[in-house]
Amino acid sequence: MSGASSRRKGNVYEVAVAAGLRSKGFRAITSRDGRGGAQGGSDVITDLPVCIEAKNHARHDLSGWLDQAVNDAAGDPASVWVKRRGKGDVGESFVVMRAEDFVALVRPDVEF
């Protein structure tokens, strides 16, 4: 798949993640919308206390993607939302994060 085609596929998934979160009552936009077309930081900007990196790839690089999300999160909890093959519903996505970030979300008073 060409670079432009791959970016387009990724952008479609980012838009779907933002729309899925909005349908559940969260504020969410893609970073491209939030930055006037420029890419950087979290792929999806939300009112959630977590950085969201959205990925739609045939092959998974969970470790690399998570490192990217942690870097983009600038100290906030980081997550990677991964589109599942054959699943069109964003609610069926995988969410990957470090254990310490998960604990920070569910128990902010506990340091892992």
Domains of the chain, residue spans:
3-106
Distance CA(7)–CA(3), nearest Å, equals 6
Confidence of residue 2 (pLDDT cuts 50, 70, 90): low
The DSSP-derived string for 69-99 is HHHHHTTS-EEEEEPPTT---GGG-EEE--H
pTM: 0.86
How high does pLDDT run on average in the chain?
89
Confidence of residue 7 (pLDDT cuts 50, 70, 90): confident
Distance CA(76)–CA(24), nearest Å, equals 22
Question: What is the CA 69 to chain-centroid distance, rounded?
Answer: 8
pLDDT tens-digit map of 53-106? 999 999 999 999 999 999 999 889 999 999 999 998 999 999 999 999 999 999
- Check residue 61 and give its pLDDT: 96
Q: What is the DSSP letter of 59?
A: S
Q: Provide the 3-class DSSP secondary structure of residue 13.
A: helix
- Check residue 34 and give its pLDDT: 53
Task: List the CATH code of the domain at 3-106.
Answer: 3.40.1350
Q: Is the pLDDT of residue 107 over 90?
A: yes
- Check residue 10 and give its pLDDT: 73
In a 13 Å sphere around the CA of 47, the CA atoms on its Cβ side amount to 6
Q: Which two tokens stand for residue 67?
A: 């490192």
